[in-house]
Structure 1
Amino acid sequence: MKTLALSFIFMLFICSLKAQSTFVRLVTSKGDITLMLYDQTPKHRNMFLQAIKDGTYSEAVFNRVIKSFVSQGGELDEVILDREKQHPENAPKRLAAEIKPNLFHKKGALGAGRNDNPEKNSYLSQIYLVAGKKQTDAQLDAIEAKKGMKFSEKQREIYKTIGGTPHLDQDYTVFGEVVEGMNIADEINSVATNKDDLPLSPVVFKAVVLSKKEALRLRNVERSKS
Structure 2
Amino acid sequence: MKLLTWQGGILLALLISSCGRPVARFSLESTQQRVLQPIPFDNKSEKAVRYEWDFGDGKTAEAESPEHRYKASGAYTVTLTAYNEKGKARKASQTIEVAPPKACLVEIETELGSMIVELYDATPQHQDNFTKLAEEHYFDSLLFHRVINNFMIQGGDPQSKGAPGGQALGSGGPGYTLPAEFVDSLVHVKGALAAARTGDAVNPAKRSSGSQFYIVHGQQLTEDMLNRIEAQKGIRYTTDQREMYLELGGTPFLDREYTVFGRVIEGLDVIDRLASVPTDRRDRPQNDLRMKIRLIR
| TM interval, short-chain normalised | 0.7 to 0.9
Following TM superposition, by how much is the alpha carbon of 1:127 offset from its aligned partner in structure 2, in angstroms?
1.0
Q: Which AA in structure 2 matches 1:179?
A: I
Q: Deviations over 1:176-203 (max 9, x none)?
A: 1111111111100111101110001111
Which residue is 2:155 aligned to? 73
Gaps of 5+ in 2: 1-100, 158-168
Q: Does 1:98 align with 2:181?
A: yes
Cα distance in 1, alignment partners of residues 183 and 102 from structure 2: 16
Cα distance in 2, alignment partners of residues 188 and 24 from structure 1: 18
CA RMSD of aligned residues (A): 1.7
Which residue is 2:124 aligned to? 42
Q: Deviations over 1:3-54 (max 9, x none)?
A: xxxxxxxxxxxxxxxx962110011111111111111111101110111123
Which residue is 2:205 aligned to? 119
Which residue is 1:136 aligned to? 222
Q: Does 1:160 align with 2:246?
A: yes
Match among 34, 41, 52 for residue 134 of structure 2: 52
Cα distance in 2, alignment partners of residues 131 and 97 from structure 1: 22
* Structure that is richer in helix per residue: 1
**Computing the radius of gyration over CA atoms, which structure comes out larger, 1 or 2?**
2
Q: How does 1:1-226 map to 2 (within 5 A)?
A: 21-75=103-157, 76-80=169-173, 93-116=176-199, 117-211=203-297
TM-score, with length taken from structure 2: 0.59
Q: Secondary structure at the match of 1:184?
A: helix
Do the aligned residues in 1 keep the contact of 2:145 with 2:170 (CA within 8 Å)?
A: no
* Structure that is richer in strand per residue: 2
Cα distance in 2, alignment partners of residues 113 and 20 from structure 1: 27
Which residue is 1:7 aligned to? none
Following TM superposition, by how much is the alpha carbon of 1:94 offset from its aligned partner in structure 2, in angstroms?
1.1
Cα distance in 2, alignment partners of residues 78 and 111 from structure 1: 17
Q: Give the % identical residues.
A: 39
Do the aligned residues in 2 keep the contact of 1:34 with 1:180 (CA within 8 Å)?
A: yes
Q: Deviations over 1:85-107 (max 9, x none)?
A: xxxxxxx6210111100011011
Do the aligned residues in 2 keep the contact of 1:32 with 1:184 (CA within 8 Å)?
A: yes
Cα distance in 1, alignment partners of residues 218 and 283 from structure 2: 16
Q: Which has the higher contact order (CA 8 A, sep 6+)?
A: 1
Gaps of 5+ in 1: 1-18, 84-91, 212-226
Do the aligned residues in 2 keep the contact of 1:20 with 1:38 (CA within 8 Å)?
A: no
Following TM superposition, by how much is the alpha carbon of 1:207 offset from its aligned partner in structure 2, in angstroms?
0.2
Moved beyond 4 Å, runs of 4+: none
Q: Deviations over 1:183-226 (max 9, x none)?
A: 11110011110111000111111001112xxxxxxxxxxxxxxx
